[in-house]
Amino acid sequence: MNLERSPRLLDPLFADDRMRAIFSDRNRLEGMLRFEAALARAEARVGVIPSSVVPTIESQCRAELFDIEKLGCATALAGNPAIPLVKELTALVAQRGREAGDFVHFGATSQDAMDTGLVLQLRDALDLIESDLSALSGILAGLAVAQKKTPLAGRTWLQQAVPVTFGLKAAGWFSAVERHRARFRAMRPRILVLQFGGAAGTLASLEKNGLQVAEALAVELGLVVPDVPWHAHRDRVAEVATTLGLLVGTLGKIARDISLLMQTEIGEAFEPAAEGRGRSSAMPQKRNPVGSAVALSAAIRVPALVSVMLTAMVQENERGMGNWHAEWETLPEICTLTAGALQHMTQVLQGLELDVTQMAKNLDATGGQILAESIAMVLSANLGRPRAKSLVEQACRQASQQGRHLRDVLMENPQVREQLSSSDLDGLFNPSNYLGLAEALVDRALGSQSKKSHSDSE
């Protein structure tokens, strides 16, 4: 029996093997079979079916007993994989006991098995994402602390603006990651719930025992019983998709920052070097930001997939048609792409190489004009802000046109000499003296998260 396909050519680049295993065909099958085995145990506990049939049913709820390719062909005719799975499971159980075969999937519907199986997969997926996010958070926190005094050019609209610190940049990444971690924690209770409603959400086939069975089944699977079955209410799975979409957006932002800093003309940060990593097939000198490229590709692909999940929320009456089907491959792809991007960016940031010398060189690339705001702010104390700003703007244009340092141009201006001495200008043209609250903001970001973590543990 062919239980699982081999990895495709591009899987190692874009996918995380651990997440791919969670959403493999075999694991999808195992999720549904776990539901069927747990359902038998729950119904026996409530007294709906004989306890004697449970071992026989459980013994056949094993993925290795089923031919996935055969089930796939049957799915094309049935409309969902639970239908042929239950048929095959019933036949296997009946071979070992006719009475036991009568109680397979008792009172349930195919969507109960599929959605609950999906929730079990999502629980593993969330565990993986949250674990990796915790690791990434720790790396970013360390980077923010280590580099909180390291100045580099801050850039707005891709142009040099004023000096910042690399630690503040890392603290911004860290803070965003921490918000995602909070979202995942808050989301879990809404996601990890049982789907069990029978044909149309009433559990009519179980009569007065329906809720008792649901509660026993939830205990078996470690899930929560929702207030009502949610067959056609897809906000839960859509929330997973949108939350992953937000995370991928942040990973893409970090990747964009790093890839821009890695440009030849900037050269301030680099992805870790390794044999065969980021090399060009034609140009020996090339060192490409491969991890960032993967994260950016996910940031392009995932939003469109999230839109599918949001569109699929509009389902008909008690059970949807087509829109439910649209989720089956879409959500696993979102999870897989997100995990792949997260894994790549964790590796990138863990081995990130910084060129502090080049950062300092780039800070002076404009001949001191990156500090024009600091000069204008000091001059405005006596000249007024509009006049001071105009004076410095004119000096910047002159410096650019003449290819001179802004300090030299300013020293020739009588109005500036009246306000500032040569030593004053030396201090003003030191980037480390115009970092504002950068260092304090790093401490604030890390300290704020430390307080939240302590509060969460209480």
Tell me how far apart the alpha carbons of residues 396 and 367 are, in angstroms, rounded to a whole number.
9
Tell me how far apart the alpha carbons of residues 126 and 11 are, in angstroms, rounded to a whole number.
20
Phi/psi for 352 (5° steps) reads -60, 130
Active-site annotation, residues = 280, 319
Tell me how far apart the alpha carbons of residues 328 and 307 are, in angstroms, rounded to a whole number.
14
**Residue carrying the six token digits 């590709």:** 297
Classify 212 in phi/psi space as left (phi over 0), alpha (psi -120 to 50) or beta: alpha
Tell me how far apart the alpha carbons of residues 310 and 241 are, in angstroms, rounded to a whole number.
8
DSSP code for 224:
B
Q: Are the C-beta atoms of residues 10 and 333 closer than 8 Å to each other?
A: no
Nearest Cα to 439, choosing from 175, 241, 243, 148? 148
Tell me how far apart the alpha carbons of residues 192 and 215 are, in angstroms, rounded to a whole number.
14
**Residue carrying the six token digits 């543990």:** 457
Tell me how far apart the alpha carbons of residues 132 and 158 are, in angstroms, rounded to a whole number.
31
